[in-house]
Amino acid sequence: MDFKRISGKQTRLYETVCAFANTDGGWLVIGVGDAKATKPGDKPASRLYGVEENPEGFDDFRRELLQRFTPAIAGLHWQLLPCALRDGKPGHVALLKVDKSEQVHSIVGNGTWTRMDASNRELSAMEIAELAYQRGVRSATAEVVPIRLSLLETGTWRTFLASRGLRSGTFAEQLQRLGLADEVGGEIRPTRAAVLLFAEEPGSLLAAHDTRADIRVMVYDGKQPVPGATPNLRKPAKTVRGPLVEQIDTAVRLVLDELAAGLTLGSSGFKARHVYPERVVKEAIVNAVIHRDYRLNRDIFVRIFDDRIEVENPGLFPGRITPDNIAKAGSKARNPLIAQNLREFPVAPNIDAGEGVKMMFSEMAAAQLYPPQYRQSTEAAIESVTVTLLNLERPSIWDEVSDWIDREGSIQNAKLCEIAKIDTLRASKMLGVWRDQGLLVPLPHRAKRNMAYTKPTRSEPTQSDLLSTFEENNGSQRK
C-alpha cells in the first residue's frame, strides 16, 4: 500500500503503479499525504488533501495511465471514497487497486520498477530479464542448448512421432517445425524442451549447463525431517530420471505404491492409511514437471510424511498466480513447449486445459480432506513453490471458516464460537490444531486476549483491511 498526493508531476505515481504490477499488486491511495510528513501533534485528518487538491492533475493521471506503460497495464480498478478533507470541506480519496500482472511493464522513458517493503526500485537490464523468467514471459525451455541432435532420436521420440503423425522431412526439420530446434551458427541445435522430452538422460545432459531435470522421492519417519548426519528417512531416497513422460509415470507409480503400502508409525506398529485421490497425487507431480523453472539447478522433491505429501517445485508462480488465487485461477503454463508436446504422446499425462488445479481442490473436497495448501518460498537460495496434501479428514466447519477468512481477512475465537456453535475452550483448541497443521497463522502484534488468525498464504488485503490499516495509522499518530 502507498499513499500519494496529486502534485504537479505524477512521476512517483506512475512508478508506484509500475512497481505494484511488476511485483505482487497493491493499493495506491491518492489524495492522502504520507504519515512521515506529519508533525507531532498533527491530527489524522491533516493528511487528507483529497483529489480536489489538483483535479486537473488527477484527470491527467487517470487518462495517461493507459498510455504510459509498455505493455499497457490491464488490471487497474478505481474507487472514489467521500470524506471530510483537512480543511473540513467535503472531498474524495481515490483508491487504485493494481493487480499483479502476467507481464513485465516499463514506464515509457522512465525505466522498469519493482516494489520493496515501502518504496520503489528501478531494475537493471539483468533484473528485468530475471523477472521475465519468473513471470513466465520467457521460458528457459524455448532456448537452444549445445547438445547433439542424435542424442534425442530415441524410442521416446519415435513413439511421439507416430502419435503426432509427422511423416515428411528429416529429424532436424521435424524438430524445427515443432519449435523444438533452431539454427545457430549454421548448425541445428535442440531447445531445452526437446532434450527434456526425448533424451534418455536429460538431467545428465543438462547438468553441464547448470540445470537439473530429475525427481527425488523421499519417504520420512514421522511428520518432520530431522536434520543431521543421520536423517530420518524410512528408506534410501530414489531419483527418477528419463524423458519427462517417463519421469511422470515412474514418479506417480512410485508414490502411489508407497501410499498403498501404508506407513507404520513408530514402535506402536500402527499403520497410517493415506487416502488422497490418485488423480490429485498425479496432478501435483505433473504440474511440478510442466511448470518448474528449468533454469534452476535443483530437482523436484516429493516428500512423503506420516500425515502429508509435499511436492516442491523449483521456481515461483508464473503470471499473476498466487497462493491466494490458485484455486480459482487454475494454472498458467510457464513452459508451453513442454505442455503442448506432452499432450501429444499416446498416453498423455496432461490435458493442457488449465483445469488440473481446480480438479485437485474439488477432488480433495469430495474426499472430505483439507484443500491443497500452496506456499511460495522466496527466501531460500533457490526459489520454489510447494504444494502440500494433508492426510487429515477436515471438519465440515473448515469450509465456513475458510470462506470467512477469504472475505474478512482473519477470524477470532468469538467468531468461530458463533459459526461452529461451540464454547470458547473448544474453539481455542480447534484454532490451535489448525495452527499446528499450518492452515492458520496468528496475526502479529496481537495480545493473547485479542488474538486473530489468518491463512499463511493470504497476502492481498480486502477493502476493509485497507480502511482498518488507514485507521490504525491515524490512531498511532493520534497517540
- On whether both 342 and 259 belong to a single domain, the answer is yes
**What is the pLDDT confidence band of residue 37, given thresholds at 50, 70 and 90?**
confident
| Beta strand residue intervals within 315-414, DSSP E | 373-377, 384-390, 411-412
- On whether both 169 and 195 belong to a single domain, the answer is yes
Q: Would the pLDDT of 459 be above 50?
A: no
- On whether both 10 and 105 belong to a single domain, the answer is yes
pLDDT of residue 327: 87
Contacts of 317 (CB under 8 A, 6+ apart): 323, 326, 376, 385
pLDDT of residue 263: 57
For residues 248 and 289, the answer to whether their CB atoms sit within 8 Å is: yes
pLDDT single digits (tens) 315-329: 999 888 888 888 887
pLDDT of residue 464: 53
| Residue 44 located in a structural domain | yes
What backbone torsions phi and psi does residue 12 show, to the nearest 5 degrees? Answer: -65, -35
Q: Would the pLDDT of 42 be above 90?
A: no
Domain-terminating residue out of 135, 156, 190? 135
| Residue 209 located in a structural domain | no
Please indicate whether residue 89 or residue 355 has the higher confidence score (pLDDT): 89
- CATH number of the domain bearing residue 437: 1.10.10.10
Percent of the chain with pLDDT over 90: 61
Q: Would the pLDDT of 472 be above 60?
A: no
- On whether both 294 and 152 belong to a single domain, the answer is no
* Type of residue numbered 94: A
Our count of domains for the chain comes to: 4
How far is 58 from 144, CA to CA, in rounded Å?
A: 48
- CATH number of the domain bearing residue 81: 3.30.950
How far is 212 from 132, CA to CA, in rounded Å?
A: 20
For residues 106 and 69, the answer to whether their CB atoms sit within 8 Å is: yes
| Residue 311 located in a structural domain | yes
Query: What rounded mean pLDDT belongs to the chain?
Result: 88
How far is 23 from 9, CA to CA, in rounded Å?
A: 24
Please indicate whether residue 179 or residue 267 has the higher confidence score (pLDDT): 179
- CATH number of the domain bearing residue 375: 3.30.565.60
pLDDT single digits (tens) 374-389: 999 887 788 999 999 9
Q: Would the pLDDT of 127 be above 50?
A: yes
Please indicate whether residue 407 or residue 59 has the higher confidence score (pLDDT): 59
- On whether both 422 and 471 belong to a single domain, the answer is yes
| Residue 205 located in a structural domain | no
Lowest mean pLDDT among 203-207, 214-218, 353-357, 366-370: 353-357
- On whether both 182 and 228 belong to a single domain, the answer is no
pLDDT of residue 407: 85
Q: Averaging pLDDT over each range in 16-25, 273-282, 391-400, which range is the top one?
A: 16-25
- On whether both 254 and 277 belong to a single domain, the answer is yes
**What is the pLDDT confidence band of residue 262, given thresholds at 50, 70 and 90?**
low
pLDDT of residue 373: 93
**What is the pLDDT confidence band of residue 271, given thresholds at 50, 70 and 90?**
low
- On whether both 28 and 118 belong to a single domain, the answer is yes
pLDDT of residue 397: 86
**What is the pLDDT confidence band of residue 479, given thresholds at 50, 70 and 90?**
very low
**What is the pLDDT confidence band of residue 265, given thresholds at 50, 70 and 90?**
low
**What is the pLDDT confidence band of residue 96, given thresholds at 50, 70 and 90?**
very high
pLDDT of residue 231: 82
Contacts of 328 (CB under 8 A, 6+ apart): 358
Q: For cell 515443432, what's the residue?
A: 178
- On whether both 330 and 293 belong to a single domain, the answer is yes
| Residue 315 located in a structural domain | yes
> Domain limits at 192?
140-199
Q: Would the pLDDT of 335 be above 90?
A: yes
The stretch 79-94 carries a mean pLDDT of 93
The stretch 263-290 carries a mean pLDDT of 77
Domain-terminating residue out of 358, 390, 422? 390
pLDDT of residue 108: 93
Run of H or E residues at 113: strand 113-115
How far is 361 from 372, CA to CA, in rounded Å?
A: 6
- On whether both 128 and 181 belong to a single domain, the answer is no
pLDDT of residue 473: 46
Please indicate whether residue 399 or residue 315 has the higher confidence score (pLDDT): 315
Task: Please choose, from the candidates 466, 465, 471, the residue with its C-alpha nearest in 3D space to the C-alpha of residue 452.
Answer: 465
- On whether both 172 and 272 belong to a single domain, the answer is no
| Residue 321 located in a structural domain | yes
| Residue 415 located in a structural domain | yes
- On whether both 226 and 105 belong to a single domain, the answer is no
Domain-terminating residue out of 362, 390, 418? 390
pLDDT of residue 351: 66
What backbone torsions phi and psi does residue 404 show, to the nearest 5 degrees? Answer: -60, -45
With vertex at residue 163, the alpha carbon angle to CA 160 and CA 164, rounded to the nearest 5 degrees, is 80
**What is the pLDDT confidence band of residue 392, given thresholds at 50, 70 and 90?**
confident
| Residue 223 located in a structural domain | yes
The stretch 226-255 carries a mean pLDDT of 91
